[in-house]
Structure 1
Amino acid sequence: MNISDKAMKKIIEAEERCIGCKACMKGCPMLIKFCENPKDLLRELKDKKEYDYSLPYSCMLCGYCSKVCPKNVDLKSIFMRLRKDIVEENNGKVPKELGTGGVDIHQKLSFSYLFTSDIENLQGDTIFFPGCGLISHSPKIVENTYSYLRTKINGIGIYTKCCGKPTVFLGKDRKFKEYYSILEKEFEDKNIKRIITGCQNCFMTIKNNSKDIEVVSLWEVIAKEGVPEDRRGIGTTINKKFTIHDPCPTRDMDIIHSSIRDILNELGFRVEEMKYNRGETLCCGAGGLVPTTEGHIAKAHTIRRANEAYTEYIIAYCQECVESMRRGGKKSYHILDLLFNDDFQNMEQINQGLIRKWVNRYNGKKIGK
């Protein structure tokens, strides 16, 4: 496909700034596939003025490249621009060969009343927005988390819609705005002033698109208010060591990284850090819809990331990351399981199937009613 003027401007600027140090390649699986050096790739794109569909849809859009680049080259923004151009060129659709039809179905259902509800149980101006992943994992954990929040924040409501981030990843700007307008209307109608998110993608998506609303991570709230009294110190009775995996969407949110570690310390778990952590964390392999569009790249990176943990057990605070670490061969837990699941040690270390997840979504919409 031919490169648009908007994309070409970004490519030329990036190629001029890039010094070919390859710092970005240490944590990026797609660059290794397409080039020996990112500067060479940028130069090739500039000269040929065209690219294959697979290139931008191989990027996990995790932001590691720009985080470690000494010249602030942002490859993520280039590949995101190319995705948008592909969609615009194909009349609002992603080419069939990329296999993203299931994502479209997921998004349509994630804004339907069959699997979601409007804001429930609101008696104030604050809501809990758990996100699709958590509800798919366990409506019970979400309900327990919401019950905890109700003891800390008077009148807090709950909203079980999706934030629309998968549609952003597809490159479908117009469709995302259509979906997000549903959230905006609900926020406005219910006079929402603060949103507490349980998902890192939800945190960033709402923060970037509803700038007049205070968006707070669930982890900040728990770290500030304290873990449930009956969970304090439970980790001291468990003879296991855990490794923390930081999700990539909130790599720039130091307060979240610190809050997670404060919570684990209060729980009493023995934890280790990965080499690439906090702001320089690596994607779990599930970012940017790459498992759907370029599955071999995602699989290899997931195995790499899981193996960077020297312990058998990994703790994450993104459900997609939890499932990725299992696919990579590790035993993994969501931090909410440590907080609100009494039987977490006996959890089956098998990712749930698609049907089970949608059943959970259906049951999850009833929380707060």
Structure 2
Amino acid sequence: MGLAHARPDLVFAVRRCCMDGFCTLICPDGIEARPVFAALRELLALAGVTGIDGFTMTQVDREWHIFSAYRAVHGIYYTDLPLLENASEWGADTLFFPGCSLASYAPELTRAVFAWLREQGMEVALSVDCCGSPLRSGGFADRCEAFKHRLAERAVSAGIKRVVLVCPGCRDEWETAEGAEGLELIALPELLAAAGAKPLPEKLRALAGNEAPVVTFFDSCHDRDGRFGGPLRRIFDDGACVECAHHGANAVCCGAAGAVSLVDQGICDRRARRALDEEPRAAGAELVVANCPTCAYTFAAARRADAASGEGAAGPAFCQYLELLFEPGFDWPGVFGRLESMWSGEYGPWLAQELL
């Protein structure tokens, strides 16, 4: 690690990589850069060149992290539903895995999707676990793999046969989890499209200002194979849809990947502006539909920063795809307000002790 100490610019370059895999598309040798940079981050962490600073709140293999604490402080529980912990008692063979952002920041939407899966005849249980990806971003790949292995073991031992996933990033982690080889992984948009789901006109009107906006899709950088984006386009095939310059196999990062904001907030902001404003405007879109809840969170944070700076909402409206298909949605001003209030309220000292 002598080189890392002598060349901090190289460490900075590793930490600035969002690990979205875009460079692999243009690499003449097809080198898979994601695992390379994940390994480099792990080496830097093991050697003590980088530390836990910035990642204390996203150690999702511990009892308390930002998502579990948010749910506890604000009374977001799902104990009335079949959970992974008691799935076998309910006879559940399907696991609904909404991901940490959806389960924490949009509980009513999470419940609505869970109810819909039941209406489709599924014996379903819910997991509010994270997929483990924040650990990988922090350079803790070994902890990430161990965490995913335990999650897969719990699912298999509970009698789970299939996992329904909201987020492409979660799908990537489940696909590479030791012990999950026998599980069927299903992208939720595949089920929605097969059931004939269509956008709710009142939600389109509320989000975009008219009932028939020109829609574009922001494909997660984890969805280059189109497992989520393909079905979503079928769901919206009755409306006017346009494609941005980067989509599908050519998808780019929303700004959140790799936790790059911890070392270079500016590059994250530029990536978010490209995804949310520049490319959609160039395509003539009025509404950007993200297929990943974390991408939607990133866009909400960008819009919030715009408002704070006095710029206002310069580009198209945005949403996460489930918000157009179900009545509940994300209350982003409320989410950010609750995230901030956690630290100044009665739970502030406890949070500081557990998470900082």
TM-score bracket for this pair, using the shorter chain length: 0.7 to 0.9
Name stretches of at least 5 consecutive residues in structure 2 with no aligned partner.
304-312, 343-356
Structure 1 residue 72 corresponds to structure 2 residue 57: no
Match of 1:100 in 2: 55
1:165-199 Cα distance to aligned partner (Å, 9 max, x none): 11011121232234224313311320211101111
1:102-131 Cα distance to aligned partner (Å, 9 max, x none): 333796525969757751564231111111
Change (3 A) 1:299 1:233: closer
Change (3 A) 1:211 1:94: farther
8 Å contact from structure 1 (residues 223, 262) kept in 2:
yes
Match of 2:226 in 1: 254
Aligned residue for 2:20, secondary structure, equals coil
Q: What aligned pairs does 1:164-243 form with structure 2 within 5 A after superposition?
A: 164-209=132-177, 210-227=180-197, 231=200, 238-243=211-216
Using the size of structure 1 for normalisation, the TM-score is: 0.73
Match of 1:314 in 2: 288
Change (3 A) 1:358 1:125: farther
8 Å contact from structure 2 (residues 168, 228) kept in 1:
no
CA apart distance, 1:348:
6.1
Change (3 A) 1:3 1:298: same
Partner Cα separation in structure 2 for residue 106 and residue 223 of structure 1: 34
CA apart distance, 1:332:
0.9
Match of 1:33 in 2: none
Change (3 A) 1:315 1:139: same
Partner Cα separation in structure 1 for residue 190 and residue 119 of structure 2: 16
CA apart distance, 1:226:
2.2
Change (3 A) 1:105 1:278: closer
Partner Cα separation in structure 2 for residue 308 and residue 259 of structure 1: 22
Match of 1:26 in 2: none
Partner Cα separation in structure 2 for residue 301 and residue 234 of structure 1: 27
Partner Cα separation in structure 2 for residue 357 and residue 155 of structure 1: 37
CA apart distance, 1:50:
8.0
Match of 2:327 in 1: 341
Q: Which amino acid aligns with 1:309?
A: P
- What is the number of equivalent residue pairs in this alignment? 306
Change (3 A) 1:282 1:351: farther
Among 101, 120, 129, the alignment partner of 1:161 is 129
CA apart distance, 1:68:
3.0
Among 222, 226, 245, the alignment partner of 1:275 is 245
Q: Which amino acid aligns with 2:128?
A: T
Structure 1 residue 132 corresponds to structure 2 residue 100: yes
Change (3 A) 1:272 1:348: farther
Among 250, 254, 261, the alignment partner of 1:284 is 254
Among 73, 86, 91, the alignment partner of 1:123 is 91
Partner Cα separation in structure 2 for residue 358 and residue 333 of structure 1: 24
Aligned residue for 1:244, secondary structure, equals strand
Among 355, 358, 362, the alignment partner of 2:338 is 355
8 Å contact from structure 2 (residues 216, 288) kept in 1:
yes
8 Å contact from structure 1 (residues 129, 198) kept in 2:
yes
Identical pairs, percent = 21
CA apart distance, 1:278:
0.6
CA apart distance, 1:258:
1.3
CA apart distance, 1:261:
0.3
Match of 2:41 in 1: 83
Using the size of structure 2 for normalisation, the TM-score is: 0.75
Aligned residue for 2:216, secondary structure, equals strand
Match of 1:144 in 2: 112
Change (3 A) 1:94 1:192: farther
1:211-246 Cα distance to aligned partner (Å, 9 max, x none): 221111111111122217x94898697042222111
Change (3 A) 1:77 1:50: farther
Among 291, 299, 318, the alignment partner of 1:325 is 299
CA apart distance, 1:49:
8.7
Change (3 A) 1:275 1:332: same
Q: CA RMSD in A?
A: 3.3
8 Å contact from structure 1 (residues 59, 76) kept in 2:
no
8 Å contact from structure 2 (residues 94, 123) kept in 1:
yes
Q: Which amino acid aligns with 1:296?
A: G
